[in-house]
Amino acid sequence: MAGSSRTDDSPFGRWWRNVDRTTLICTFILIGFGYILMLAASPAVAVRIGASRNMFIFKQVLFLGIAGVIVVGISMLSRKAVLRLSMIGGVLMLGATALTLVHGIEIKGARRWIALPMMSLQPSEFLKPCFAVVTGWLLTQRRVSRYFPGMLIAFALYGLIVLLLKSQPDIGMLTVITAVFLVQLFVDGLNLILVAFGFGCMIAAGIAAFFIFPHVRSRVERFMHPGVGDHYQIDTALRAFGNGGLLGRGPGEGRVKDLLPDAHADFVFAVAGEEYGMVVCMLIICVFGVIVVRTLLRLIREDDPFVVIATSGLVTGFGLQAFVNMASSLHLIPTKGMTLPFISYGGSSAMSVALAIGMVLALTRQQQGRPLAGNGFVTTLRQWRSA
């Protein structure tokens, strides 16, 4: 296979030679875990709401199948095509996010979704990867032409997104996008004092959200004071991890899926812990870690600043989303309704994460005739700072 791929000059052959196969394989491993855990977690949830036992399974099989196609399809695009797609998608998803405030579905007091056949679309999920790529381009272009207000446009775009997400409200997504933006500003070479100031503003905004939004205050208080309020979901999840032990109770033998309403989504990691044990949970964590670390290592050798800044944002959003879901299930942070990439149930989540990983693979793919240059971006960054 390896020998034939070197002589194959077809588009697929060139793609296979240059794409990061390790990240690609890890992505499909996560999709495989998604299939397995959906078989374990979703039937009990479907029966509890009076639906067909296999409803969530059939839908997620379709969603993950589409996600796999998206990963491969997007990863074959050129860097310019990824940027164009992000610009067009960003404008459409920005408009759709604004539309949720008027015609969105209200769930638990928040308007984040638009009703579509077979699924509900959450536009902000798709806005996140598009924002990372467009912001990467804006921050890079200001270095190309000092008359181009790239930084100013990037901050204006971020401010508009903040306004929309606060109005829904979706504090979790707002936190992730803010973290993505701050990481990109840091990678771009912004003064560390200003980056620290940005993180300080992020903390201040979190404190303000505690006093403004009752659901945020409730979650934080329950996290800080275990004896106060309703702890049913997190207590049940923690018992599931304890029941699973090292090797788990076995496929289909878990009980947490019968007790938690979101066992197939926000608490799917607890289902994995109970039925398959700590070993499989650690394996899942390692797969996420390999994708993040592998991508960052490739960026060290990349000499295109746009690729470095954009991909840093994409992988930050991906890694942070996975961390928030797993840490919430383990009660390491206050509970937050955020899906585990490729594993939790949800069409918007699966396809938006597939879009992000596809973009990562496309941007980090070795360009024809130009191998990755050793420490290229480090040299470029020093040149920028000394200019």
pLDDT of residue 387: 43
310 or 303: which leads in pLDDT: 310
**Does residue 133 sit within a domain?**
yes
What tens digit of pLDDT does each residue of 38-71 get?
988 888 888 887 778 888 889 899 999 999 999 9
Residue 29 within a domain: yes
Residue 60 in any domain: the answer is: yes
Tell me what pLDDT residue 210 has. 65
Alpha-carbon span 85 to 43, nearest angstrom: 37
How far apart CA 32 and CA 25 sit, in angstroms, is: 10
Please give the C-alpha separations between residue 370 and each of 5, 22, 361, 374, in angstroms, as whole numbers: 18, 20, 16, 12
- Quote the pLDDT of residue 95: 93
pLDDT of residue 337: 72
Given a contact cutoff of 8 angstroms between Cβ atoms, the answer to whether 292 and 360 are in contact is no
Where does the pLDDT of residue 150 fall: very low under 50, low under 70, confident under 90, or very high at 90 and above? Answer: confident
The answer, yes or no, to whether residue 374 has pLDDT greater than 60, is no
* pLDDT tens per residue, range 5-42: 566 667 777 888 889 999 999 999 999 999 999 988 88
Write the DSSP symbol of residue 10: S
Residue 383 counted as domain residue:
no
Residue whose tokens read 């990240």: 23
> At a CB cut-off of 8 Å and minimum separation 6, what does 173 contact?
112, 124, 125, 128, 165
Indicate the pLDDT class of residue 230, thresholds 50, 70 and 90. Answer: low
- The answer to whether 351 and 71 are in contact (CB under 8 A) is no
> Of all residues in the chain, what percent carry a pLDDT higher than 90?
43
Residue 105 DSSP SS3: strand
Predicted pLDDT of residue 257: 84
Q: For residue 19, what are its two tokens?
A: 């794409």
Residue 275's closest CA among 86, 41, 68? 41
pLDDT at 215: 61
Query: Looking at residue 113, what is its pLDDT?
Result: 83
* Full residue range of the structural domain in which residue 226 is found: 17-362
Give dist(CA 44, CA 270) in Å, integer: 15
C-beta separation of 43 from 54 below 8 A: yes
Instruction: State pLDDT tens for residues 121-135.
Output: 889 999 999 999 999
Distance CA 219, CA 61 (A): 32
Q: Which of 81-85, 174-178, 261-265 has the lowest mean pLDDT?
A: 261-265
In a domain, 124, yes or no: yes
Residues, the chain: 387
In a domain, 381, yes or no: no
Mean per-residue pLDDT, 284-307: 93
- Would you state the pLDDT for residue 261? 79
**Neighbouring residues of 29: CB distance < 8 A, sequence distance ≥ 6:** 287
3 lies in some domain: no
How many domains does the chain divide into?
1
Q: What is the pTM of this model?
A: 0.87
Q: In the chain, which ranges are continuous DSSP H helix?
A: 2-7, 11-18, 21-48, 55-75, 79-103, 123-144, 150-167, 171-187, 192-212, 214-224, 232-244, 256-259, 268-300, 305-329, 347-364, 376-386
Q: Say yes or no to pLDDT of 351 above 60.
A: yes
pLDDT band at 354 (very low <50, low <70, confident <90, very high): very high
In a domain, 386, yes or no: no
Question: Is the alpha carbon torsion for 275, 278, 282, 288 positive or negative?
Answer: positive
The pLDDT, as a whole number, for residue 385 is: 46
